[in-house]
C-alpha cells in the first residue's frame, strides 16, 4: 500500500473503514465497450498477364444479428468485463474474430457521446489493429458469424474555409469544413458514409469535430470511429514503421511501397522510398521468381532495434 492507512477523515474513519462502508451504487454508470478497427491489406485477385496485383486497404466488419442496428455492419467489439482492461477486452474480441493474438494494437480514442447507443449509456474505447496480409487470406473467406473484409475507399469530397466576422464580444475564429466520403465494399455489399470534419481555430487552439452527415449500413457511430482510425493510420505511417505490421514475414520493397501508397492514397517515388525503407528492414537471401519479370529480393522487418 503506497498510502497512509492510519489517517482519519472528517468522519473519523480510517481508509479501510471507509472502503468497507463504501457504497458504489449512488451514481449512474456507463457501459464500456471496446471496439476495434482491424486493418489489413487486400490484394485484388484478378489481373491479366504479368503485372503485380493491385492492393487495397481492408477493414473487418461484422453484421449485427440483434437489435439495435440489426443487419447493419459494425466494428468487432464487446463490453469490457470487470476483471479486465479495455485492452484485454479488445484482444479477447480480436482472438474471437480472427484467432490471432500477438498482433499490433493501439488504443485510439474513447468516444462518449451520450446518444451514441440507443439502448443506454455506452462509451466506446476504440483500438486499431494491423494484421499481416498473409495470415489474413486464411481467414478472408471465413463467413461463420458473418464477418467480412471490406475494401476501403476514403477521400475528401469538398472543403471550404470561413472567416466569420466576429460579432461583438466574440473572439475571432476560422472554420474549415471538410466532407469525407467513406465507402466500404465487399462483393455486392456497399456501405457508405459522409463525415463532416469541422476544424474551428481560435486564438486558444484548434478544435476538431467529426460528425456523421450521411450513413448507409454502418452501425452506431462506427463511421466516425473508422474515420478517426484512418486518419491516425495515415498520420502515423509517415513517420513510423507502423505499416510493417501489415506485411507478411518476407516481402519485397515494392510490396511494402504499395502498402504505403494504399494507406496514404498517393504514389511515392521508388528511389526515395527505398532509401527510407532501408532503415526499417533487413535483407534476406531469398528472391521472388516465376513472375514474368526480374526477380525481387525479399526483406524482413528489422525488429531488434527500438
Distance CA 178, CA 238 (A): 22
Binding site for DNA (CB under 7 A): 49-52, 252-254, 269-272, 274-276, 287-297
Does the footprint of its own copies cover residue 215 (CB under 8 A)?
yes
Q: Which of 53, 71, 99, 265 binds its own copies (CB under 8 A)?
A: 71
List, in sequence order, every residue forming a beta bridge with 281; answer none if it has no partner: 301
Give which of its own copies, DNA, none residue 135 binds (C-beta under 5 to 8 Å, depending on kind). Answer: none
Q: Which three cell numbers stand for residue 149?
A: 473484409
Does the footprint of its own copies cover residue 12 (CB under 8 A)?
no
Does the footprint of its own copies cover residue 20 (CB under 8 A)?
no
Stretch that binds its own copies, among 14-22, 44-52, 250-258, 276-284 (CB under 8 A): 14-22
Q: Which of residues 94-133 bind its own copies (CB under 8 A)?
A: 102-105, 107, 109-110, 112-114, 118-121, 123, 125
In the DSSP assignment, the letter for residue 145 is T
Q: How far is CA 276 from CA 4, 94, 244, 253, 301, in A?
A: 53, 32, 13, 11, 13
Nearest residue to 69 (alpha-carbon basis) of 204, 221, 268, 280: 221
Strand, helix or coil at 42? strand
Q: Which of 38, 39, 61, 72 binds its own copies (CB under 8 A)?
A: 72
Stretch that binds its own copies, among 37-45, 50-58, 59-67, 180-188 (CB under 8 A): 59-67
Closest approach of DNA to the CB of residue 158, in Å: 25
Asked if 100 contacts 136 with a C-beta cutoff of 8 angstroms, the reply is no
Closer residue to its own copies (CB): 52 or 178 = 178
Give which of DNA, its own copies, none residue 160 binds (C-beta under 5 to 8 Å, depending on kind). Answer: none
- DSSP conformation letters of 56-81: EEEEEEEE--SSSSTT-EE-SEEEPP
Closer residue to DNA (CB): 52 or 190 = 52
Strand, helix or coil at 195? strand
Asked if 179 contacts 157 with a C-beta cutoff of 8 angstroms, the reply is yes
Does the footprint of its own copies cover residue 279 (CB under 8 A)?
no
Q: Which of 38, 62, 80, 225 binds its own copies (CB under 8 A)?
A: 80
Amino acid at each position: 500500500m503506497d498510502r497512509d492507512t492510519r489517517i482519519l477523515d472528517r468522519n473519523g474513519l480510517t481508509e479501510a473503514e471507509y472502503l468497507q462502508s463504501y457504497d458504489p451504487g449512488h451514481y449512474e454508470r456507463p457501459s464500456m465497450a471496446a471496439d476495434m478497427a482491424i486493418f489489413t491489406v487486400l490484394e485484388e485477385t484478378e489481373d491479366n498477364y504479368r503485372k503485380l496485383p493491385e492492393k487495397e486497404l481492408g477493414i473487418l466488419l461484422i453484421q449485427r444479428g440483434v437489435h439495435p442496428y440489426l443487419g447493419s455492419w459494425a466494428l468487432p467489439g464487446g463490453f469490457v468485463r470487470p476483471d479486465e482492461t479495455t485492452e484485454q477486452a479488445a484482444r479477447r474480441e480480436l482472438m474471437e474474430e480472427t484467432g490471432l493474438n500477438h498482433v499490433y494494437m493501439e488504443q485510439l480514442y474513447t468516444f462518449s457521446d451520450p446518444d451514441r447507443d440507443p439502448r443506454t449509456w455506452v462509451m466506446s474505447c476504440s483500438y486499431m489493429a494491423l494484421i499481416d496480409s498473409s495470415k489474413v487470406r486464411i481467414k478472408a473467406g471465413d463467413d461463420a458469424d458473418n464477418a467480412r473484409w471490406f475494401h476501403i475507399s476514403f477521400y475528401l469530397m469538398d472543403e471550404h474555409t470561413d472567416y466569420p466576422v466576429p460579432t461583438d464580444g466574440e473572439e475571432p475564429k476560422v472554420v474549415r469544413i471538410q466532407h469525407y466520403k467513406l465507402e466500404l465494399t465487399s462483393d455486392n455489399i456497399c456501405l457508405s458514409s459522409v463525415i463532416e470534419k469541422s476544424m474551428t481555430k481560435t486564438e486558444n487552439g484548434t478544435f476538431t469535430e467529426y460528425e456523421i452527415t450521411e450513413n448507409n449500413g454502418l452501425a452506431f457511430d462506427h463511421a466516425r470511429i473508422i474515420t478517426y482510425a484512418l486518419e491516425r493510420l495515415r498520420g502515423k505511417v509517415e513517420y513510423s514503421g507502423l505499416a510493417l505490421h501489415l506485411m507478411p514475414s518476407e516481402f519485397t520493397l515494392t510490396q511494402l511501397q504499395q502498402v504505403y501508397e494504399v494507406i496514404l492514397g498517393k504514389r511515392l517515388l521508388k528511389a526515395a522510398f527505398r532509401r527510407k525503407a532501408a532503415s526499417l528492414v533487413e535483407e534476406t537471401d531469398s528472391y521472388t521468381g516465376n513472375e514474368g519479370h526480374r526477380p525481387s529480393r525479399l526483406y524482413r522487418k528489422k525488429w531488434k532495434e527500438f
